[in-house]
Structure 1
Amino acid sequence: MFFKHFLKGFCTMDGIAPADSKAVLLYKLYKLLLQKYADLINEKEKRTIGEVKSLIDGSDLTIQSLVAGFKPEEYSFDQHFLIVAEKAFSFITKEIAFVKTDIRLSFWLTPKEIMEIKVADDEDQAVFFCSLLVALGDEKAEVVIAELEDLSTHAFVITEYQSQFFLWDPSQQHDFNAFSGFKENILAKYDFKGAKIKRFLYKFNNTDYEQFL
C-alpha cells in the first residue's frame, strides 16, 4: 500500500510535480525509504520465467471486465480485433498515466492495482495491454523489453495480425496505426523520446519467453 501511494502521488511523472511543501517533504521521505530498502524490494519482486509469463493473463477478472466493456456482443477475432484493440489502447493511454520512477526498483503491478491508482510504468502498461489483447484472442501478442540507443530500457507490445506487423507503446500517445506495416520498417521507425531500438533484451507472453544475448 505504501509503495502504491508513492507511485500515485510522489513519483517523477511527465508534467506532474509535488503540489505543495508538504508533498515535497513526503516525497523526500518516501524516496529515502525506498532507496534504503530497494535491495529488499528487488529481491522480493524477482520472478522465474514461469512467473514472468504468468503476468500476461487474459483471464484476470479486471482484464475480463474491461474487455467486456470494449467488445461487441457478437465479437469475432477476425472481424473486430483491431477495432476493439484500438479502444483498449486508447483507454490505457488516456486513463493510465505513464510514470518512470527515479529509483532503481524492479516491481510488477497487478491489473487491479493499476486500475486502483491509474498509474503504471512502461513495463506494467505493456503487460496490461498485452493481457487485454490475449483476452481478445490474440495468441501472438508479446511484451518486448528493448535496449534503446541511449542505453535505457523500454517496454512495448508487438503482434502480427492478418500478415501485418504491429508495435504499440502505451506509454506514448501515438496513433494506433503509427507503427504498423512491415516488421523491419516498423522496428527501424520506432523511437522513445528520440532514442531508437538498439536490440531486444527479451520478449514474452503467457506461453513463451525468449531472451536475446
Structure 2
Amino acid sequence: MSESMNDEDLDYLSRVNKLYSFIIKKYQDYIEKSETRSIADMPRLITPESERVSDIASFIKSKFPSYLYENDFYGASIQALEYLKSNIKEVAMPVQFWLKPDDVINVGLGEDIDKNVLLCSLLVALGNYSSKVLVVSNDNRKEVFVYYEFNYRFFLIDIKGKIELFDSNKDLFSYAGIDDNSEAYEFNNLSYFKIV
C-alpha cells in the first residue's frame, strides 16, 4: 500500500474497523470475563524490567550527561510524561481489556489506565520504586493518576500533562478526590493497597 491512502483504501480500512468492532462487541462478555484481574494480578501489570520499557528508560537517561537519580529523576519523570504524550494515543476500547506496557508501546495506543501503567513502569525503571498507579472512583467517575515520592515531596501526575506537588500523601489524596465516599486503590510492581 502506498504511503498516501486514496478513498478506496480508507473505505476498506473503515469496513475492516467495523468488522473488528462487530466481532469484539459480539464476544464482549467472553473477553471481559477472561480479562478480569484479581488484586494479586494488579502488580504484574507494572513491568519496569521488560525490554521495551527498559529501552525507553535508557533513552530517557541518555538525555542527561550522566544520569544520577538524586539529581535527574524529576527531569526524567517529565521526559517520561512527554514520551507518553508524543507517542501513545488515547483510545476508548469497547470492552475492558488490559494491556501490558510493551503492548501499549508496540501499538502506540492505550486507554487511560494502560497509559498510567506504562508511565508507572517507566518511573520505576528510572529508579523511583515509590511510583504507584492511583485509581479513584467517585459517583460513577473513575480517574487514574500516577504518583511518586521524591526528595520528601509527593508528585501527582495527570497524564494529560499536569504535575502537582504536595508536602504529604494526605494532601495528594485529598486533591485527587479521595474521601469517605470514594473507592480508591494504588499499586505498583511490588504491592496493591486499597486506600478507601
Partner residue in 2 for 1:201: 184
- Output the CA distance in 1 between the equivalents of 2:17 and 2:134: 31
**Residues 9-88 of structure 1: matches in 2 within 5 Å?**
20-71=10-61, 72=64, 74-88=66-80
Q: Find the residue that maps to 1:100 and give its secondary structure.
A: coil
Q: Which residue of 2 aligns with 1:137?
A: 127
**What RMSD over aligned residues (CA atoms) do the two structures have, in Å?**
2.4
- Aligned mates of 1:81, 1:56 — CA distance in 2: 19
Q: Which residue of 2 aligns with 1:91?
A: 83
Quick one: distance in 2 between partners of 1:29 and 1:125?
Answer: 26
Q: How far did 1:23 drift?
A: 4.4
Give the TM-score normalised by the residue count of structure 1.
0.75
Aligned counterpart in structure 2 of residue 169 of structure 1, from 140, 158, 168: 158
Secondary structure in 2 matching 1:52: helix
C-alpha distance in 2, partners of 1:200/1:92?
Answer: 26
Aligned identity (percent) is 26
Distance 1:152 1:20 in 2: 35
1:122: how far off?
A: 0.6
For the residues of structure 2 that align with 1:200 and 1:140, how far apart are their CA atoms? 21
| Residues matched between the structures, number | 183
One-letter amino acid of the structure 2 residue matched with residue 63 of structure 1? V
Q: Residue 83 of structure 2 aligns to which amino acid in structure 1?
A: F
Runs of 4+ in 1 over 6 A off after TM superposition: none
Q: Secondary structure at the match of 1:159?
A: strand
Determine which structure has more spread, i.e. the larger CA radius of gyration.
Answer: 2
The Cα shift of 1:211 comes to: 2.2
- Pairwise CA distance, 1:21: 4.5
- Structure 1 distance, partners of 2:98, 2:11, is 30
Counterpart CA distance in 1 for 2:75 and 2:10 is 42
Q: CA deviation at 1:22?
A: 4.2
Q: CA deviation at 1:169?
A: 1.9
CA-to-aligned-CA distance 1:21-76 (integer Å, 9 cap, x gap): 54444443322221211111112212233321011121111111001111146322
Q: Distance in 1 between matches of 2:10 and 2:59?
A: 38
Partner of 1:113 in structure 2? 103
1:155 Cα deviation from its structure 2 partner: 1.5
| Residue aligning to 1:14 | none
Consecutive unaligned residues of structure 2, counting only runs of 5 or more, are 1-8
